[in-house]
Amino acid sequence: MSTRNLMIVAFALLMCLSIRPRLNASSPYPRYSRQQMIEHFQQMNPALEMTLNPHVEKRVKRMIRGGRRGTEIFLGRSATFFPVFEAYLEAYDLPTELKYLSVVESALKQDAKSKAGAAGLWQFMPRTGKAYGLDINQQVDERLDLFKSTESAVRYLADLHKSFKDWPLALAAYNCGPGRVRKAMKERRSRDFWNIRSLLPKETQDYVVKWMATTYVMSYYYFYDLRPAYPDYDLQFIKAIKIYSSKSLTRISKETGAPIAVLRKLNPSYKQGIVPSNPYGNFVVVPKIGLIKEYDEMDIQAVSLKQ
């Protein structure tokens, strides 16, 4: 073979080697091992009664394939909220995997609102929110308060589990109400969620499935080359300050140096941009980076455990 031909072959080989990783990288989704998935489910908290069935597996595939971008956004947003969720769940001695419920409820959007009237990270309806101590009035909607809504959601979950003594049933009740779950249990004479699933509203049938799939994917995302899409630092790293007298977010912005747009984003519960007076203090979430003057700073755990 001539030198020229050798050079052509060598160049072709180099091109093939350079193209292969690009083809793999541009593949719509990475390959996965079902056996590996089975093993991961077996390793998860047995108290949660996680089940890998065709319904859950289908949802997992959706999250790691066509829904990859959305999953990466959830993973990024979790950096802001999960430390708070975990602190509350640990304080109430509940499984920390319940933090993934908020992904299903609101896609981790603090100001999320549904057509039915639910609001916040945990999608409280007004009646349930008020029953668990959340104020909803012209000044504030504490369903949108990161700390207060999370504590209320954890208390509600604890009560539901105490009643049903089963996490899939408790989560179904969180979605459609305890009455509908008890009615389905009575009709089927069963305490197994999968046995009564078809008698529940379609949204609830999918709800528990979504939670199980979300818990799995967000626990093992690195096996599927999912990369968190983190928000800006000002939204990702947060702390809280305590306010006793009425004060506007605009004034707090000037006094702390935190951008007003960021304060509004982190504190949607204050409807008019004003923190009302409170002898016990109200918490305002601010970026962790930067010097905060004239305020009592609280770390996330202190705020979460000492309302």
- Consecutive H or E run containing 285: strand 282-287
Residue ranges with strand state E in 152-277: 238-243, 247-248, 274-275
**Entry field: residues in the chain:** 307
Collapsing DSSP to helix, strand or coil, 65 comes out as coil
Contact 97, 48 (CB under 8 A): yes
User: Is 300 in contact with 239 (CB distance < 8 Å)?
Assistant: yes
- Residues in contact with 49: Cβ distance below 8 Å, sequence separation at least 6, in sequence order: 166, 167, 168
CA dihedral 271, 275, 276, 280 (to 10 degrees): 130
- Using CA atoms, how far residue 29 sits from 53, 73, 161, in Å, is 21, 16, 37
Q: Which of 254, 257, 263 is nearest to 283 (CA)?
A: 263
Annotated active-site residue 105? The verdict is: yes
Query: Which of 57, 72, 86, 105 is flagged as catalytic?
Result: 105
Q: Is 220 within 8 Å of 66 (Cβ atoms)?
A: no
Active-site positions? Answer: 105
